[in-house]
Structure 1
Amino acid sequence: MSRAFRRSALIGAGLAGVLTAATIVVACGPGSGSGDTAELSVSGGYVPLPALPGGMGAGYLTVRNTGDGPDQLVRVTSPDAGSVTLHSSGVTSMSEVSSLKVPAHGALELARGGHHLMIMGWQRQPAVGDRLELDLTFAKSGTITVKVPVEPLTYRPGS
């Protein structure tokens, strides 16, 4: 299957409705056959229930890139929240960042203690089991929409 056909099929699937699969794949880049194409998939996303009603929340997920070209996560929005910002945590501090790199043949992991999303201005108080829509915008690959579950505050994947 050609890259152009795969890309057309993915775009058509996206237009048919909101993508809600656990893993979503998109292949985009400056042109088919250029060798500099990012092929992204998003998986493992979740949002711990905010500790305080109306309080800030965090979001975690993994963006994998099996393509030959890098990309950057440059913006995240949600119809369920007033703002979603990209953050990076160090040993003693946390700061907002303008973008996060998704390396070729690598992954961007948003996880506790590292890169993550800060979610503020909830449209309504989330509850465990709700699904939060996140629109992830990449510099080269456009926007990927995912829905991630709201989990208990103490949730840890794989435990």
Structure 2
Amino acid sequence: MNRRTTLAAALALTAGLTLAGCSADGRPELKVVGAFMPQPVNDMAAGFLVVQNSGDAADRLTSVTSPISDDVTIHESKDQKMREVSSFEVPANGRLDLERGGSHIMFMKLKQKPKQGEKVSVELRFEKADPITVDLPVKETTHNPKKP
């Protein structure tokens, strides 16, 4: 009887390690924090947030959609120039910072201008992970928080 218990425990431990190995090697684990949109002053707006990846696999943010605009793109700013990009890396056990003066979400031709205190819904699409829907609280035009 004791031998069967030991064998069952060994098999359970082996199965557990096998399952842990499968889940740890290949799936990003994404979470969004610090999301906001400064109140727009014209028919364009920017969105900022941090995508944290606690998984062992990298991923890529490939697109963003929102009911507030049919023209939502992702941009990077380098050498004081802004340009549209096709994706951003979300490193394994790392983060993607979309922040003022750097990479960000760009909303063109707004269908309506959201006011401070409202929320703007966006869907973030990734290469590997399932889409994430996030509400961007609309803050004052000059809002620039510390990094989360």
TM-score normalised by the shorter chain: which range applies? 0.7 to 0.9
Q: Deviations over 1:41-73 (max 9, x none)?
A: 001000001122xx2111000000000000000
Give distance in 2, aligned partners of 1:145 and 1:37.
Answer: 19
TM-score (ref. length: structure 1) = 0.75
Give the superposition deviation at 1:142: 2.1
What residue in structure 2 maps to residue 27 of structure 1? none
SS in 1 for 2:128: coil
Residue 140 of structure 1 is matched in structure 2 by: 128
Given the alignment of the two structures, is residue 46 of structure 1 paired with residue 42 of structure 2, yes or no?
A: no
Which residue number corresponds to residue 6 of structure 1?
none
More helix by share: 2
Runs of 5+ unmatched residues, structure 2: 1-20
State which structure, 1 or 2, has the greater radius of gyration over its C-alpha atoms: 2
Aligned counterpart, 1:19: none
Asked if 1:64 is matched to 2:52, the reply is yes
1:130 paired to 2:114: no
Q: 1:156 aligns with which of 119, 144, 147?
A: 144
Distance 2:81 2:111 in 1: 28
TM-score when scaled to structure 2?
0.81
Query: Helix, strand or coil: the match of 2:135?
Result: strand
Residue 34 of structure 1: how far off its partner (Å): 5.6
RMSD: 1.4
Are the counterparts in 1 of residues 69 and 109 from structure 2 also a CA contact under 8 Å?
yes
Instruction: Tell me the number of residue pairs that the alignment of Structure 1 and Structure 2 aligns.
Output: 126
Q: Which residue of 2 aligns with 1:87?
A: 75
**Structure 1 outlier segments of 4+, above 6 Å:** none
Separation in structure 2 between the aligned mates of residue 154 and residue 143 of structure 1, nearest angstrom? 29
CA distance in 2, matches of 1:122, 1:107: 28
> Identical aligned pairs, as a percentage?
43
Contact 2:25 2:57 (8 Å CA) reproduced: yes
Q: Letter of the aligned partner of 1:59 in structure 2?
A: G
